[in-house]
Amino acid sequence: IVYVVDAGNCRIQKFDSDGKFVGAWGHRGNSMGDLGYYYVEPKSVALDGAGNVYVVDGRIQKFTPTGKFITLWGTYASMNGNSSYNFTDAKSLAVDGFGNIYADDVFILKFAPNTKYLGEFGTAGKGEGQFHLPWGLTVDAQGHIFVADMGNNRIQKLDSRGKFVTAWGSFGSGKGQFKGPCGIAVDGSGNVYVTDLGNHRVQKFASN
């Protein structure tokens, strides 16, 4: 199943593996309390092991695989009795094998499956474990967190506790270089795929 963030139409679309349309949900909300809909354009989608769908749109919303609203937290959630955590500029989501949810706000935020805030990783800067405009993240089967550190034109790899493991990339158009990496995914073999925006390409890297 393929889920697509249709930002301009403020909805999520669902397709089968052959590209056949299955369903869609969401529209631009008309109030901050418009539960289960989108008050601003959705930016990213992620799934947990049960197939539940998480969407970031200035807050995080959780839906069943068929699009039924479950809960939300973030910018507008305090008005609805949920977690009062407010995002600054969350853009991407990832869910690990334990159901923990990660979001790339100014830094990397971690939430428990019940939406409880567990902490954040990173500070501003260019050093190891520091970020400048993180814009894309994913988690592999071992729980490693990969972050597209857009402003620093590199990819950073962290362990499940947020400790720096390694990084690669620099500004440029050569192999392994980036001009604004802004999306990332990991396949079942651990290969890493990066959307290299300024170079109009996708780059693939081995697990090492």
Minimal CA–CA distance to 117: which of 133, 101, 105? 101
pLDDT at 84 over 60: no
Tell me if 62 sits within 8 A of 74, measured CB to CB: no
* 97-131 per-position pLDDT tens digit: 999 999 998 889 999 999 999 989 998 999 999 99
Binned at pLDDT 50, 70 and 90, residue 86 comes out as confident
Cα separation, 150 vs 178, in Å, equals 9
Predicted pLDDT of residue 83: 47
Minimal CA–CA distance to 108: which of 72, 145, 142? 145
- H or E segment at 23? strand 21-25
Predicted pLDDT of residue 78: 40
* 61-81 per-position pLDDT tens digit: 999 998 899 998 876 444 344
Q: Which is more confidently placed, 154 or 1?
A: 154
Residue 10 CB contacts under 8 Å (≥ 6 apart), including other chains: 26, 27, 28, 37, 38, 40, 41, 42
* 149-208 per-position pLDDT tens digit: 999 999 999 998 999 999 999 999 999 999 999 999 999 999 999 999 999 999 999 988
Taking the whole predicted model, whether its pTM rises above 0.75 is answered as: yes
Tell me if 56 sits within 8 A of 103, measured CB to CB: yes
Predicted pLDDT of residue 204: 98
